[in-house]
Structure 1
Amino acid sequence: MLTTNMTGLASVFSHIEFSGRDRILAAVSGGGDSLALLFLLKRFLDSQGGLCSLTVVTVDHGLRPEAGAEAQAVAAVCRRLAVSHRTMRWQGAKPSTGLAAAAREARQALLAEAASAIGTDIVLTGHTADDQAETLAMRLARGGGLGEAGIAPATLHEGATWFLRPLLGIRRQALRDFLRGQGESWFDDPSNVDPRSERARVRQSLTDEEIVRLTEKASVVAREREVLGERAARLIADGGRLAAPGLIELDADTLHSADADVASYTLRILLAAAGGAVHLPAADRATALLASLWEDGTRSSLSRSVAARVGGSLYFHRERRGLPSIGAPDLTAMQGKLWDGRYRIRRWEPVEGLRIGPDGGAAPLSEIEGESGVPRGLARAARAAQPAVWRKERYLGPADEWGVEMEPVAGPWAHLIPCFDLAPARAVLHLLGGAEIPHPPWARHKAARDFTQ
């Protein structure tokens, strides 16, 4: 149910687990939504006896000359409320295309950096029901799919920082009415009414009835996506294993006996995980590929992955084309970043003349290892796409044997994990030997169903 007035505003934070945290962070731009978040959050924390301290961060993207003055105005409000404030700036050149997406990624990274600096894993943002409806309308115009779940109430950033959106059930007008009642004003970003912006055009076109309909649809699809992910996670846990480095094995009967939607979704997840793809492959292409894998010896590729049927198993590994090779100078900047979308480089001291590149089939056959019964040819094909250390054109060995700490990641969820995708992301990371995903900070939290045992 959407909140369109003050009724219900006081309880929007009651489902968040603040206890056990000394500090939390809120992103406040000075617009009506985020400014209302600040006042509501401060009131809530005060009502709880100062449950934890609040830090506010304003991100200046360097895209509008007035942004600096707006950040100063937010800082003045924070001083009045006795709240700590920090302005963070997006430095460097800005891309000529994809600016909105780049700005969003930069903002998330800066906010996560600020959260880490104050020792918290929580960032609250002011996304509203109107934002949800606008987002869904734009996604529907592009075909919908799983994206019809809309904006997640919580998203895990880089495995460490939870971005929480407690106002997703609140209408924008209700927040502005609240601010007016407090005698507060806010800034209106001119891009919000610029017809060159898709979101601005959608915002101006939606009626109240359409906003209600779209937010309700997002809620329904989000739950459907969560259930589908839970079923896929169970299937991966029951029938999957890492058969050799870079080689995922899944019992074919387990997949083929599942409901069509679950089987297709599971296949998409494993293809993306094996290939390190940013997005899941299209559902129709995955369904067609699944139909082609009934017979022993069949093989196909999709989403940078090779899928093969051998006996009673399906195998997935990264195909050999398009694999990256990174030399020592660039590796300094790669710390904490991804190699091939499959591994995060946690630590390596770059050495002049050495590089990380794919094995490429250089490893001696005697070194190719796999679990019992794994076809040697597939294990070798998978090994060829694994990270290795080279000195110029001389193969030295697997990256992990040369001091490179690389952590497996879960394909499309390498950077961001929406809360409705936690089950499949956990299942994939457990399969690959990746890091454990923390539970979202919900109050009265009940441990999520565990699909790793």
Structure 2
Amino acid sequence: MTQETDRLRADLCAQLPSELPRRLGVAVSGGGDSVALLDLLIDVLDGEGVAISAATVDHGLRPEATKEAAQVAALAVRLGITHETLRWEGWDGSGNLQDQARQARYHLLTGWARRNGITLLALGHTADDQAETVLMRLGRAAGVTGLSAMPARRVQDGVTLWRPMLGITRARLRDHLRARGLNWIEDPSNQDTRFDRIKAREALAQLGPLGITTESLASVAQNLAQARDALDHYTLKSAQNLARPDEGDILLNLRGFSTLPEETARRLLLVITGWIAGHTYPPRRAAVQEALTALHAGRAGALGGCLILRTGDEARFCREYNAIRDIAGPGDQPWDNRWSLTGPTIQGATVRALGEEGLSQVPDWRATDRPQAALIASPAVWKDGDLLAAPIAGYANGWQTGLLVEWEEFLATLLSH
């Protein structure tokens, strides 16, 4: 074993969780980074009682992908671990292919992890990936969160995504693989300068004389991640002190809100709208600034699929009807990814937004003391065009609503990460 391998093992061991999981998943594309990660994890966890499994996503976008996945499967056999290939068949040819493929990759991997009782999934992102991400986000004038780049840990779909190699360069990993006699696959897209990441990679190679290196940019990301964590901590404390839930809406104390630093206020808006609308991506910074300006001026506004209504000394954040008016589903399934409804078994019942049509059939809705704009976006039970129930609007008719994630639970989850 070489000294460099010893250093790599030490670097990886420093990132291990204090309590090792019984099962660990590793995403392995077959590229050098993920192959090295798999090999190193098997080494450092030998004898620790951790069952390691690997998964490879075949996006079906290149004819070589199936063969490459088979090579990873063969490597897994050599290394004595289980492996599964996950195939994506969801692209219809429209939209941003890279973005859709990335989202599909994470959903496939977390789904595989959950099926196999895996709560921790290791990803092979390196210091180079981190540095390239920082450069790309600099070009977009990103703030603290954007420039902190990829977090070492984050939770998606109930699975913790873990990036233990953000402080390790790609070159060190390639040297390790050569010393170990392990082969890897070079993705041809890594040479395609149509992609921003490859442009950033080429630009980074020219910035060394200025002291802008992979290592320095990865350190910048780490420093900003610490600043981000501090901002998030105080933002969430502000959420606990100034915001309160009301049947899926949030009421925000405007007097306390007006005293917050602008960055904390901006982040608080993202926390609130994230709980209500469940963003995959946060709203554009300009849209957040517009909502902040409206709040401070005492005007109504909208942000990320939510309405912001002024009610005395408070602002009410509620779901925007236009964002969910076309969402419908069976009565026994979650609605809008946040509501569950329980009630009588009625064949053919569906759940969709109450809307103005439904609200007109609820004579006592004003007794709820909630504004019309909020109530029309609340979940209601329908059958063949007839309103059966609208619990939040005061027409329960044997039905109850429940949130999949309560406000306090949502905040606790954010504080724990």
The two structures have a TM-score, normalised by structure 1, of 0.78
Cα distance between partner residues in 2 of 1:148 and 1:396 = 49
> Does the 8 Å contact 2:26/2:54 carry over to 1?
yes
Q: Say what the alpha-carbon RMSD is for the aligned residues.
A: 3.2
Structure 1 pair 22–274 and aligned structure 2 pair: CA distance change class (3 A):
closer
Specify the SS of the correspondent of 1:227. helix
Give a deviation string over 1:228-283, Cα, whole Å, max 9, x none: 1111111110121113x233111112111122221232134324544554443444
Q: What is residue 413 of structure 1 aligned with on the other side?
A: none
Partner residue, 1:381: 373
Map of 2:133 onto structure 1: 135
> Structure 1 residue 437 and structure 2 residue 417: aligned?
no
1:317-332, aligned counterparts within 5 Å? Answer: 317-327=318-328, 331=330
- Report what 2:28 is aligned to: 28
Deviates more, 1:263-272 or 1:68-77: 263-272
Does residue 179 of the first structure (1) align with residue 181 of the second (2)? no
- State the aligned residue count: 401
Q: State the shift of 1:128 in Å.
A: 0.4
SS in 2 for 1:385: coil
Change over 3 Å in CA distance of 1:199–1:346 after alignment to 2 = farther
Residue-by-residue CA offset, 1:94-128 (whole Å, 9 max, x unaligned): 43431112111222122112212221211111110
- Whole-Å Cα distance in 2 between the matches of residues 30 and 347 of structure 1? 46
Counterpart among 222, 225, 241 of residue 222 in structure 1:
225
Cα deviations by residue, 1:39-71 (Å, 9 ceiling, x for unpaired): 10010111xx14211111122111122222222
User: Which residue is equivalent to 1:98?
Assistant: 96
Q: Distance in 2 between matches of 1:79 and 1:40?
A: 16
Q: Is 1:255 aligned with 2:257? A: yes
Q: Do the aligned residues in 2 keep the contact of 1:58 with 1:71 (CA within 8 Å)?
A: yes
SS of the equivalent of 1:127 reads coil
> Given the alignment of the two structures, is residue 156 of structure 1 paired with residue 155 of structure 2, yes or no?
yes
Letter of the 1:153 partner, please give it: A
1:264 aligns with 2:272: no
Tell me the CA shift for residue 357 of structure 1: 1.4
Distance (Å, rounded) in 2 between the aligned partners of 1:234 and 1:34: 38
Which moves more between the two structures, 230-239 or 259-268? 259-268
Mark the CA change 1:92 to 1:347 in structure 2 (over 3 Å): closer, same or farther: farther
Match of 1:445 in 2: none
* Equivalent residues of 1:319, 1:385 under 8 A apart: yes
Give 5+ residue unaligned stretches, structure 2.
none
Give, in whole Å, the separation in 1 of the partners of 2:57 and 2:297. 55
Structure with greater contact order relative to length (CA < 8 Å, sep ≥ 6)? 1
3-state DSSP of counterpart to 2:269: helix
2: CA distance, partners of 1:369 / 1:278: 35
Q: Are 1:31 and 1:188, in contact at CA under 8 Å, matched by a contact in 2?
A: yes
Checking the alignment, whether the CA contact within 8 Å between 2:339 and 2:379 is kept in structure 1 is no
Distance 1:271 1:155, change over 3 A: closer
How far off its partner does 1:205 sit?
2.4
In structure 2, do the counterparts of structure 1 residues 19 and 274 end up closer, same or farther at CA, with 3 Å as the change threshold?
closer
Q: Cα–Cα, structure 1 residues 309 and 36, in superposed 2: closer, same or farther, change >3 Å?
A: same
Instruction: Provide the residue aligned with 2:107 in structure 1.
Output: 109
**1:32 Cα deviation (Å)?**
0.4
Write out per-residue CA displacement over residues 192-211 of structure 1, whole angstroms, 9 at most, x where no aligned residue. Answer: 11122222222222125332
* Residues 122, 164 of structure 2: 8 Å contact kept: yes
Of the candidates 338, 348, 354, which is equivalent to residue 349 of structure 2? 354
Q: Structure 1 regions of 5+ residues with no counterpart?
A: 371-375, 410-428, 440-447
| 2:151 counterpart SS class | coil
